[in-house]
Amino acid sequence: MSLRNRELANLVAVGVLTGLGFASVYIARSHVVSTASLSYAIFFLALYVAAHVVTRLTVPNADPYLLPIAGLLTAVGLTEIYRLHPQDAFRQGLWIVIAVVLFAVALIALQRDYRRLESYKYIAGLTAIFLLMLPALPGFGTTVNGARLWVHVGPLQFQPGELAKIMLIVFLAGYLREKREVLAQGRLKDFGPLLVIWGGAMLVLVETNDLGSALLYFGIFLAMLYIATARVLFVALGGVLFLVGSAGAYKLIPHVRERVTIWLHPWTVHRVYCPLTGKPALRQDCQSYQLVKSLYSIGNGHFGGTGLGRGTFETTSGHQLIPYLNTDFIYSAVAQELGLVGAAAVLLVYMLFIARGFRIALLAQDGFSKLAAAGLTFGFALQTFIIVGGILRLIPLTGITLPFVSYGGSSVVANFVLLAGLLLISHRANEPPR
């Protein structure tokens, strides 16, 4: 079977799964299977078949599993979002359409040779910083949950950090490919531009209070530096730097201190000061309310889950239990309804995506492609870890989207661009020698 036929076959399987998912939500909600549930699945399948046609035309040699995996993850997300807020699912569907269009545009524009991007690396780096700074600019940005991440232009809202991540990876790949020999020798002046751009990014992140992203960028930076130079010392040095920076942030930024406290002690036996109301309260009823309620949601899933559409996300008076459930906290909804079996399956799908991504990096012929593929893949893995790990109390919780699954336009668009990048690199790596 050719690579693209394999992709199509996988997509059809994903389409069937999506149909089943929507149908089960429908049955759970209104005890009937409706044609509306099937229309969602058919629309979804049609969209992915269209994306598949584009890959067939532009990147016929690309990895056949990435697009179906992305399809499966968006399907899981869309089904869950539909189950939580049907109106949001419609909007998410629209964003997926836009994302697929951009995916196609990226593939068509860059199909001949994406490596030209390398010459625009500084532009990419500056764009990344500009995008990251946007929310901090007065008049544009809005603060949500203590972090300035959003840009509002009229009715549109956008989280530019997601695209900035890809831009930064492009810059790092280009720059590190060029300077990797000298960097490996440890010449300080060659670190200059790298540190300047990096320091700028970090500053912006501190300014916007978004720690999840800071950790993400730092991790990507260290990982790519390690691939380029093979120097473990750099990673160790970076790790120490990060620890020092974290300690400083803990001391100086109350928002960071609060996050760490919530992480270490989400439950209190006695009432403590609650900064939200200014009165004493149990911490589980105050700052760690969201984390604790989300853990209850996960715990309620047990092994088999409550079943799609049968989870509990509202109080008896109809109030939503977990804030940001369909964006940052969608994993706790999935974990409750699908249980350990389903949640672990979703995580295994992420593993598969990551394994395929690194395989592409291994197969790629040139340094830029290797660095870019590894950077994109590691960024994807780290982002998944930061949000799900935060929800599972493995690390302090920071608000960041779960790739492909969370509700949110910028996230979906950015991840499809990431997918396009990996497919382009994969196509080139698998091309028969001319």
Is 130 a binder of other proteins (CB under 8 A)? no
Q: How many residues does the chain have?
A: 434
Chosen residue from 96, 381, 405, 429 binding other proteins by CB under 8 A: 381
Q: 209 and 252 in contact (C-beta within 8 Å)?
A: no
318, 432, 433, 434: residue in contact with other proteins (rule CB under 8 A): 318
The residues with which 157 forms a beta bridge, in sequence order, are 152
Residue with Cβ nearer other proteins (45 or 419)? 419
- When the beta carbons of 165 and 393 are compared against other proteins, the nearer one is 393
Stretch 30-59 residues interacting with other proteins (CB under 8 A) = none
Residue 281's SS3 state is: strand
φ, ψ at 190 (rounded to 5°): -75, -15
Check binding of 324 to other proteins (CB under 8 A): no
Among 121, 259, 370, 428, binds other proteins (CB under 8 A): 370
Q: How many CA atoms lie within 13 A of 372 on its CB side?
A: 31
Residue 317 binds other proteins (CB under 8 A): yes
Contacts of 391 (CB under 8 A, 6+ apart): 291, 294, 295, 298, 328, 329, 331, 332, 397
Please, which residue, 120 or 226, has the CB nearer to other proteins?
A: 226
The single residue among 252, 355, 365, 431 that binds other proteins, judged by CB under 8 A, is 355
Single residue of 73, 382, 423, 429 touching other proteins by CB under 8 A: 382
Nearer to other proteins, 58 or 284 (CB): 284
Q: Which is nearer to other proteins, 280 or 299 (CB)?
A: 299
What is the three-class DSSP state of 213?
Answer: helix
Residue 315 interacting with other proteins (CB under 8 A): yes
Binding region for other proteins (CB under 8 A) out of 32-40, 120-128, 223-231, 247-255: 223-231
Distant-in-sequence, close-in-space partners of 406: CB < 8 Å, separation ≥ 6: 77, 326, 327, 328, 330, 387
Q: How far is the CB of 26 from other proteins (least distance, A)?
A: 11
SS (H, E, C) 375-427: HHHHHHHHHHHHHHHHHCCCCCCCCCCCCCCCCCHHHHHHHHHHHHHHHHHHH
Number of Cβ within a 10 Å radius of residue 95: 18
Contact status: 228 vs other proteins (CB under 8 A): yes
**Could you tell me whether strands 141-144 and 147-153 are parallel, antiparallel, or unpaired per DSSP bridges?**
antiparallel
Name the one range near other proteins by CB under 8 A: 67-75, 93-101, 112-120, 363-371: 363-371
**Are 148 and 156 in contact, with CB atoms under 8 Å apart?**
no
Alpha carbons within 13 angstroms on the beta-carbon side of residue 414 total: 28
| From 41-49, 57-65, 376-384, 416-424, span contacting other proteins (CB under 8 A) | 376-384
**Which residues would be at the binding site for other proteins (CB under 8 A)?**
28-29, 223, 226-228, 230, 267, 282, 284-285, 292-293, 295-303, 307, 309-310, 312-318, 321, 335-336, 339-340, 343-344, 347-348, 350-351, 354-355, 358, 361-362, 367, 370-371, 374, 377-378, 381-382, 384-385, 388-389, 392-394
